[in-house]
Chain A
Amino acid sequence: MQHYLEYLQIYGDRFAAGILVTLQQSFLACLLAIFIALIFGFMKISRNKFYRFCAISYIEFFRGTSLLVQLYWIFYVLPLFGVTLEKFTAGYLAVGLNLGAYGAELVRGSIQAVSKGQYEAAVALNMPKITSMRRIIFPQALLIMLPSWGNLLIELLKGTALVSLISVTDLMFEAKQINGSTFLSAESFGTALIIYYMMARLFIAPSMRWFEKYWTKKMGRF
């Protein structure tokens, strides 16, 4: 135990640097994923066949291939098409695009889960489609999708660990480096695991629960 504490003292700040990068990657990927999820989620239930086709193609493509492959493709292959991205950008871009596809399904599913009667009441009150979506349907859909979004965000956090493979200096990258020089594998990877766990369980999960409570209250349910 003493030995581990000494280890942490020496390498603590390197882990901290890695954590910072992981948080940055997660945050940016999260924003992108939400954006993508909303756009493609709505496109998938549009009446326009072309929009639906685009949405289905995007979702099936990004869900059907693995994040790692997508990451490598964006970083190594895209330059050949003239699009060269910095590895930091490639990292959160891949994670955001990938998890956005899963998010789109969540958005779609929860909007469709709002009871049909709500749509009919809005029609009976002569509300235009956009107003009824904005004021009536989407607030209820949001409540339905929040628990699953919590899980999605944890998957997103886990996904960011892959960016270390294109040498983005995140938490896992640091752990690998430290392992490479010290051969203290249990300490290095173990610490990384514990930190990821704490981020997921002590930050993401409670934050989502708080937001669920907040939104439930706002919607008048208890």
Chain B
Amino acid sequence: MTTNNYPFELSDDSPIVRFSNVTKQYGDLTVLDSLNLDIAKNEIVSIIGPSGSGKTTVLRMLMTLENINDGIIYVDGMPLTHMKKKGVLVPANNAYLQRMRTNIGMVFQHFNLFPHMTAIENCMEAPIHVLGLSKKEAHERSEELLTMVGLADKMHEHPARLSGGQQQRVAIARALAMRPKVMLFDEVTSALDPEVIGEVLNVIRSLATEHELTMLMVTHQMGFAREISDRVCFFYKGKIAEQGPPSQLFERPKNERTAQFLNAVLSAT
């Protein structure tokens, strides 16, 4: 892995997330091919594309759920996937990843709430055991967040008693409780019944408009992506085929593949 030519640190005005020549392979299959992607601070980016195009992998690598095969990822100016050791960049060890991960939070397609804890306990768990907050502080923060997502009255319910939309909103609150700089949303409405998708999108919308947060979303909700994104990236076969502001990408796509995809998706809904 040729990480000799990469800087140890990015300058202060750099993007908050940078993928530099990132490649990911599963055996023979190349899922992401030398990806270069910059995300600016407080930018809201949507990633769209057909399945298998590598969209979810981008998020999973940023959340350190997957290793990368080549290239390097920077978060907040510092390398994420690599660390400086004796003057060279080497693959990061667990301790280093533990320190860097605090910048990133993720909401999953299948919620992944802890079934044996109530909503508020789900939110309090990591702040207490990872950030070292006192029970009181964690409770205050969690209650605030659950109120923000509209679930103050469901604080003491277990996930099994909540609808899919409610569970996903708890999951958002839980991720926010760690005060990450970058929030990742991995197809968060794909597993929801149509009637509850709206309540989740509302929460995400208010996050985008009322809070300063960098957001990276993989989604099939084209209308929503168009509405709140600063930039949309269309992925095709492991590469960014096209990216740009939503007005441009959705109305005047430059790439034929983009047009084909948008046609197929928009006519199906």
Contact = CB atoms under 8 A, between A and B. Distances in A.
Direct A–B touching, Cβ under 8 Å: yes
A80 to B, nearest CB: 47
B116 A220 contact: yes
Most chain B Cβ neighbours within 10 Å, of A121, A139, A220 = A121
Nearest to A140: B116
Interface stretch (B44-52, B73-81, B98-106, B232-240): B98-106
Contacts of A143: 116
A118 B113 CA distance: 7
Contacts of B105: 124-125
B106 A117 contact: no
Given A139-B116, A220-B160, A126 B110 contact: no
A131 interface: yes
Given A117-B110, A220-B160, A131 B130 contact: yes
B116 A127 contact: no
B117 A220 contact: yes
Contacts of B108: 117, 120-121, 124
A17 interface: no
A128 B133 CA distance: 16
A135 B121 CA distance: 11
A117 B112 contact: yes
Contacts of A140: 115-116
B8 interface: no
B64 interface: yes
A160 B159 CA distance: 43
Contacts, number: 70
A127 B160 contact: no
Most chain A Cβ neighbours within 10 Å, of B98, B105, B113, B129 = B129
B102 A136 contact: no
A140 B64 CA distance: 24
B130 A121 contact: no
Contacts of B98: 126, 128
B17 interface: no
A126 B102 contact: yes
A123 interface: yes
B175 A221 contact: no
Nearest to B116: A219
Given A120-B108, A123-B64, A140-B116, A220 B130 contact: no
B126 interface: yes
Most chain B Cβ neighbours within 10 Å, of A118, A125, A128 = A125
A127 B129 contact: yes
Contacts of B178: 125-126
A128 B129 CA distance: 9
A3 interface: no
Nearest to B111: A117
A131 B178 CA distance: 16
A135 B158 contact: no
A222 interface: yes
B65 A126 contact: no
A220 B118 contact: yes
Interface in B100-151: 101-102, 104-106, 108, 110-118, 125-126, 129-130
Given A135-B129, A220-B160, A124 B175 contact: yes
Interface in A72-123: 115, 117-118, 120-121, 123
A135 B64 contact: no
Nearest to A114: B115
B174 interface: yes
Contacts of A127: 125-126, 129-130
23 contacts: A115-B112, A117-B110, A117-B111, A117-B112, A120-B65, A121-B108, A121-B171, A123-B63, A123-B64, A124-B104, A125-B130, A126-B130, A126-B178, A127-B130, A128-B130, A140-B115, A218-B116, A220-B115, A220-B118, A220-B158, A220-B159, A221-B116, A221-B158
Interface of B: 63-65, 98, 101-102, 104-106, 108, 110-118, 125-126, 129-130, 158-160, 171, 174-175, 178
Given A120-B112, A140-B115, 4 more contacts: A124-B108, A125-B126, A131-B130, A222-B160
Question: Which 9 A-B residue pairs are closest in the complex by CB-CB distance?
Answer: A220-B158, A219-B116, A121-B112, A125-B126, A117-B112, A124-B106, A126-B101, A131-B129, A126-B130
